[in-house]
Amino acid sequence: MIFFANPYLQYLENKNEIKKNIDKFLKKGVYILGNDVINFEKEFSNYIGTKYSLGVNSGTDAILVSLKALNIGIGDEVITTSHTAIATVSAIISSGAKPVLVDIDEDNYNINHNYIIKSITKKTKAIIVVHIYGNPVNIKEIISIGKKYKIPIIEDCAQATGATFDNKKVGSFGTFGCFSFYPTKNLGALGDGGLVTTSNKQLAKKVNRIRQYGWNKKRDIAYIGFNSRLDEIHANILSVKLKYLDEDNNRRKKLAKYYLQNLNPKKFKLPKTSENSEHVYHLFVVQTKKRNQLIRRLKDKKIYLGIHYKKAVHQEKAYAKFCKIPKGGLKNTDKIIPKIVSLPMYPQLKFKEIKHICRILNEE
């Protein structure tokens, strides 16, 4: 049986270290925002290259907390892509702001900067770029749009922990970087978790308060917050896993290279990496005109594929009514949605397995 992701196999690789750490955590008896969270936040900031990291409950909350720290809410617009996890847009709607959905580049599935510029209005208060599938957006181009129009950039790095643009980690370019530690992510906890990176001291202080009801250390309240804390137990496990992240991402890159060299390009449209960037292949997504057939055929051989995503956000009725969608629609997004399929991709996938997968994929 081969799944498209398999966090359990990763756990098995680090089982002894994780168990030892959990034991230490249980003996300490500190469960919420203790030293394990503080240490992990420091380690993560060092890794990404930002001054501050603040652990929260999920990647969705990381985006929501960032928007709230920028005082974004009712009456404001936030530009993002429709080709993302529903979570990106869910966070914008939860803030009270209106998501403005723009189209992607057909080649790399990332938000297109020209469409961003066309969608900017007086109400635009942030641009959220998603490094989709682990493939970095041309973030320098986006940062210059942000500077020109004085709009903060939030990077949704949920799928791209460890990816780089111009040799700098994503999540270190924007006003905020938002990370998810959902178990299947490149850096995954054993449950929910997320984190916000920033190098702005005032904003870091604000996020620190918002994630805990608005409290500071003395529990004085300056403004309203909610409860979105990264648990000690997850921070503790994430500290172990962070040590192996680069190695794991390199294993993903090697597997991706194998797919790229061995899949038949006449049958599959293969992913492209943006220039100056290092893709970390959270997902390895190809396009095929015969998606349903392919999924069924591989399922018969006990190989399970995924689809990310079956519908773009503007195609989800419940969400679309809260979003602004350009008059001409989102043509590139609509074009790829029926064809995309995610192939098995996780560091523990064996070469003999990927060889077997490629052979079956290339068969008619």
Ligand X SMILES: Cc1ncc(COP(=O)(O)O)c(C=O)c1O
Q: Does 197 bind ligand X (CB under 6 A)?
A: no
- Give the residue, chosen from 41, 76, 103, 156, that forms a contact with ligand X under the rule CB under 6 A: 156
Least Å distance, CB 147 to ligand X, is: 24
Comparison of 170 and 294: residue with beta carbon closer to ligand X = 170
Q: Does 80 bind ligand X (CB under 6 A)?
A: no
Least Å distance, CB 364 to ligand X, is: 33
End-to-end CA gap in the chain:
21
Comparison of 6 and 361: residue with beta carbon closer to ligand X = 6
CA distance 243 to 21: 14
- Residue 110 DSSP one-character state: S
Full strand arrangement of the beta sheet holding 164-165: 168-169, 164-165, 277-278
**Residues in 35-64 at the binding interface with ligand X, rule: CB under 6 A:** 58-60
Q: Does 198 bind ligand X (CB under 6 A)?
A: no
Tokens of 98: 């209106």
Comparison of 304 and 309: residue with beta carbon closer to ligand X = 309
333: amino acid identity, one letter: T
Contact 181, 238 (CB under 8 A): yes
Q: Does 187 bind ligand X (CB under 6 A)?
A: no
Comparison of 183 and 353: residue with beta carbon closer to ligand X = 183
107: amino acid identity, one letter: D
Comparison of 47 and 182: residue with beta carbon closer to ligand X = 182
Q: State the helix-helix crossing angle for 59-69 and 86-95, rounded to 10 degrees.
A: 30
Q: Does 333 bind ligand X (CB under 6 A)?
A: no
Q: Does 77 bind ligand X (CB under 6 A)?
A: no
Comparison of 146 and 194: residue with beta carbon closer to ligand X = 194
- Give the residue, chosen from 102, 130, 163, 303, that forms a contact with ligand X under the rule CB under 6 A: 130
Query: Across-strand partners of 342?
Result: 285, 306
For 165-234, give the DSSP string: ETTEETTSSSSEEEEE--TTSSS--SS--EEEEES-HHHHHHHHHHTBTTB-TT--BSS---B---BHHH
CB atoms within 10 A of CB 191: 14
Q: How many residues touch ligand X (CB under 6 A)?
A: 15
Comparison of 132 and 263: residue with beta carbon closer to ligand X = 132
- Give the residue, chosen from 53, 95, 112, 159, that forms a contact with ligand X under the rule CB under 6 A: 159
Least Å distance, CB 196 to ligand X, is: 12
Comparison of 89 and 143: residue with beta carbon closer to ligand X = 89
Least Å distance, CB 181 to ligand X, is: 7
Angular region, 110: left φ>0, alpha ψ -120 to 50, beta rest = beta
Stretch binding ligand X (CB under 6 A), from 26-34, 153-161, 257-265, 297-305: 153-161
Q: What share of the chain is helix, strand, coil (3-state, %, to 5)?
A: 40, 15, 40
Query: How far from chain centre, in Å, is Cα 39?
Result: 22
Which residue's beta carbon is nearest to the bound ligand X? 59
Q: Does 84 bind ligand X (CB under 6 A)?
A: yes
Q: Does 81 bind ligand X (CB under 6 A)?
A: no
Comparison of 5 and 263: residue with beta carbon closer to ligand X = 5
Contact 205, 223 (CB under 8 A): no
- 311's enclosing H/E stretch is none
Q: Any idea of the CA torsion for 136, 139, 140, 146, to the nearest 10 degrees?
A: 180
User: Which residues contact ligand X by CB under 6 A?
Assistant: 58-60, 84-85, 87-88, 130, 156, 158-159, 180, 182, 192, 194
